[in-house]
Amino acid sequence: TQLLEQSPQFLSIQEGENLTVYCNSSSVFSSLQWYRQEPGEGPVLLVTVVTGGEVKKLKRLTFQFGDARKDSSLHITAAQPGDTGLYLCAGGGGSNYKLTFGKGTLLTVNP
Amino acid sequence: KAGVTQTPRYLIKTRGQQVTLSCSPISGHRSVSWYQQTPGQGLQFLFEYFSETQRNKGNFPGRFSGRQFSNSRSEMNVSTLELGDSALYLCASSREGGAFNEQFFGPGTRLTVL
């Protein structure tokens, strides 16, 4: 069974601070996706990484896929209250048509 | 382009009853996946349908079932409801499914079992 562990589980910071959240597994994934979910809504895809060592930037968000494709990180620079939400990572593998989700990091950015 | 819609948004049932949830994918998407989300277990995969065929199934009991229609709309059914079935049920659609295709989620159906 493929499992994804996300850390920290909860994170509360002040506006303007930087933060990094992690997504780790003992399994290799063909792809790794990051989603953000806000209360009362479904998750929204932020990025998909597929190559070991890949780094993608989306404005103030930087995503990295580990060289061995077993882990990933999300770094947010100068966090804003609008970044508040549940950040989920999800791994996909091979011909398997399902995504395995981590339990998420609940981020609160205080003004 | 309209997003993924799920009905109903909220549902309250009692133990032993059954429930049917509906999902309408984005136009042109043929893959529909269902997930159960709870605070303790997070998002757990239920099953995925593509062109009316179930391609993958998660580790849930047989009380959980689903189907997909020729217009790609999907339903999931839970029979003999238990208290532990209380959760947010999310539906996601994508063009082809699989590990590399973006999934678009609906807002979910919040099921409460009393």
Predicted confidence (pLDDT) per residue in A38-48, tens digit: 988 999 999 99
pLDDT at A54: 93
Rounded to an integer, the average pLDDT of B21-35 is: 95
- Residue B8: asked if its preceding bond is cis (omega within 30°), the reply is yes
Question: Which of A69, A73, A63, A24 shows the shortest CA–CA distance to A50?
Answer: A69
> With 90 as the cut, is the pLDDT of residue B103 above it?
no
pLDDT at B33: 94
Environment class of residue B2 by beta-carbon count within 10 Å: exposed (0-12), middle (13-18) or buried (19+)?
exposed
Helices (H), chain B: none
pLDDT at B99: 64
Q: Where residue B109 falls among pLDDT bands split at 50, 70, 90?
A: very high
- A99 closest CB neighbour out of B45, B55, B108: B45
Contact list in A for residue B92 (CB cut-off 8 A) is 42
> With 90 as the cut, is the pLDDT of residue B95 above it?
no
Rounded to an integer, the average pLDDT of B86-106 is: 87
Three-state SS string over chain A comes to: CCCCEEECCEEEEECCCCEEEEEECCCCCCEEEEEEECCCCCCEEEEEECCCCCEEEECCEEEEECCCCCEEEEEECCCCHHHCEEEEEEEECCCCCCEEECCCEEEEEEC
* Lowest mean pLDDT, pick from A53-62, A85-94, B30-39, B97-106: B97-106
Kindly identify which residue of chain A lies nearest to residue B101, measuring between CA atoms. Answer: A48
Asked if B45 and A88 come within 8 Å (Cβ–Cβ), the reply is no
Contact list in A for residue B36 (CB cut-off 8 A) is none
pLDDT at B2: 78
> With 70 as the cut, is the pLDDT of residue A7 above it?
yes
